[in-house]
Amino acid sequence: MNIWNRYKKKMQRNKKKDQDASNENENSIDKNLSVNINKLKQDLGDSSDLVIRHFEMGGEPLVEIAAVYMSGLVDEKNVNEFVSGALNVEASIEKRAQEYRGVNSFDFIKAHAHSVEKVTVVSEWDKLLLAVLSGYTVILVDGYEEAISGDTQGGETRGVTEPSTQLVIRGPKVAFTESLGTNISLVRRYLKSPDLRFETMQVGSISKTDVAVMYMKGIASEKVLREIKKRLTKIEVEDIIDSGYIEQYIQDASFTLFPTIYNSERPDAIVGNLMEGRIAIIVDGTPFVLVAPALFIQFFHTPSDYYQNFVISSFLRLLRVISFTISLLTPSLYIALTTFHPQMIPTPLLISFAAQQEGVPFPLFMEVLIMEFTFEIIREAGLRMPRAVGQAVSIVGGLVLGQAAVQAGIVSATTIIVVALTGIASFAFPSYNMGVAPRILRFSLMIIAGSFGLYGVLMALFILIAHMSSLRSFGTPYLSPFAPFIWSDIKDSIIRQPLWSMITRPRLISQQNVQRQEKGQKPAPPDAVDSNSNKEKGD
Partner 1 sequence: MEKAKVSGWQLFVLMLLFELGTAIVINPGLDAKKDAWLAVLLGMIIGLLLFVVYFALYRLYPDLSLIGYGKKILGKYAGMSLGILYLFYFLYIAIRDLRDFGELLTASTYIYTPIFVINTIMILSVAFVLWHGIEVLARTGEFFFVILMLVGVVGTSLVLFSGQIDINQLRPILENGWMPIISTLPATTTFPFGEIIVFTMLLPYLNHPRLCLKAGLSAMSISGVLLTWVVAMDIAVLGIYVASRSAFPLLSAIGLIDMAGLFQRLDVAVVLTLIIGGFFKIAIFFYAALISATELFHVKKYTSLIFPLSIIVLLSSMSVASNSVDHIKKGVELVPFHIHLPLQVGVPIILLAIALIRRRMKSH
The residue within the footprint of partner 1, chosen from 396, 454, 503, 514 (CB under 8 A), is 454
Q: Which helix (H) or strand (E) holds 287?
A: none
354 touching partner 1, by CB under 8 A: no
Q: How far is the CB of 343 from partner 1 (least distance, A)?
A: 5
The residue within the footprint of partner 1, chosen from 465, 499, 528, 529 (CB under 8 A), is 465
| Piece of 167-175, 218-226, 372-380, 461-469 that binds partner 1 (CB under 8 A) | 461-469
Distance of CA 6 to the CA centre of its chain: 44
Order of strands across the sheet that contains 136-141:
50-57, 63-70, 136-141, 147-151, 117-122
Strand ranges in 267-330 using DSSP code E only, listed in sequence order: 279-283, 289-292
The residue within the footprint of partner 1, chosen from 62, 111, 241, 344 (CB under 8 A), is 344
477 touching partner 1, by CB under 8 A: yes
CB closer to partner 1, 35 vs 344: 344
Binding mask 479-498 for partner 1 (x = CB under 8 A): x--xxxx-------------
Written as one string, the DSSP assignment of 398-434 is IIIIIIIHHHTTSS-HHHHHHHHHHHHHHTSSS-HHH
Which of 488, 498, 492 has its CA nearest to residue 524? Answer: 498
462 touching partner 1, by CB under 8 A: yes
Q: At a CB cut-off of 8 Å and minimum separation 6, what does 426 contact?
A: 323, 327, 435, 438, 439
Enter the DSSP assignment of 153. Answer: B
Q: How far is the CB of 347 from partner 1 (least distance, A)?
A: 8
Q: At a CB cut-off of 8 Å and minimum separation 6, what does 143 contact?
A: 31, 33, 63, 105
Enter the DSSP assignment of 304. Answer: G
463 touching partner 1, by CB under 8 A: yes
Q: How far is the CB of 230 from partner 1 (least distance, A)?
A: 22
11 touching partner 1, by CB under 8 A: no
The residue within the footprint of partner 1, chosen from 201, 253, 440, 459 (CB under 8 A), is 459
348 touching partner 1, by CB under 8 A: yes
Strand partners, 56: 64
d(CA 418, CA 420): 5
CB closer to partner 1, 451 vs 534: 451
Q: How far is the CB of 340 from partner 1 (least distance, A)?
A: 7
CB closer to partner 1, 235 vs 468: 468
97 touching partner 1, by CB under 8 A: no
| Piece of 112-120, 383-391, 422-430, 478-486 that binds partner 1 (CB under 8 A) | 478-486
CB closer to partner 1, 133 vs 466: 466
Binding mask 201-230 for partner 1 (x = CB under 8 A): ------------------------------
- The b-or-e profile of 135-172 (16+ CB within 10 A means b, else e) is bbbbbbbbebeebbbbbbbeeeeeebeebeebebeebb
What angle in degrees, to the nearest 10, is found between the helix axes of 76-87 and 105-112? 130
Q: How far is the CB of 351 from partner 1 (least distance, A)?
A: 12
CB closer to partner 1, 155 vs 484: 484
CB closer to partner 1, 438 vs 456: 456
Which of 397, 343, 337 has its CA nearest to residue 365? Answer: 337
172 in helix, strand or coil?
Answer: coil
Order of strands across the sheet that contains 196-203:
196-203, 209-216, 279-283, 289-292, 262-264
346 touching partner 1, by CB under 8 A: yes
Q: How far is the CB of 389 from partner 1 (least distance, A)?
A: 44
Q: How far is the CB of 366 from partner 1 (least distance, A)?
A: 20
469 touching partner 1, by CB under 8 A: yes
Distance spanning both ends of the chain, measured CA to CA = 96
340 touching partner 1, by CB under 8 A: yes
Are 105 and 63 a contacting pair, CB within 8 Å? Answer: yes
Q: How far is the CB of 454 from partner 1 (least distance, A)?
A: 6
Q: How far is the CB of 330 from partner 1 (least distance, A)?
A: 17
| Piece of 19-27, 337-345, 402-410, 413-421 that binds partner 1 (CB under 8 A) | 337-345
Q: How far is the CB of 317 from partner 1 (least distance, A)?
A: 16
At position 431, the amino acid (one-letter code) is S
Q: How far is the CB of 516 from partner 1 (least distance, A)?
A: 25
7 touching partner 1, by CB under 8 A: no
Q: How far is the CB of 331 from partner 1 (least distance, A)?
A: 18
121 in helix, strand or coil?
Answer: strand
Q: How far is the CB of 466 from partner 1 (least distance, A)?
A: 4
d(CA 304, CA 263): 16
The residue within the footprint of partner 1, chosen from 456, 476, 492, 510 (CB under 8 A), is 456
Q: How many residues interact with partner 1 (rule CB under 8 A)?
A: 27
CB-facing half-sphere around the CA of 446: CA atoms within 13 A? 24
Backbone phi, psi, residue 30, to 5°: -75, 160
Q: Which residues bind partner 1 (CB under 8 A)?
A: 340-341, 343-344, 346-348, 452-456, 458-459, 462-463, 465-467, 469-470, 477, 479, 482-485
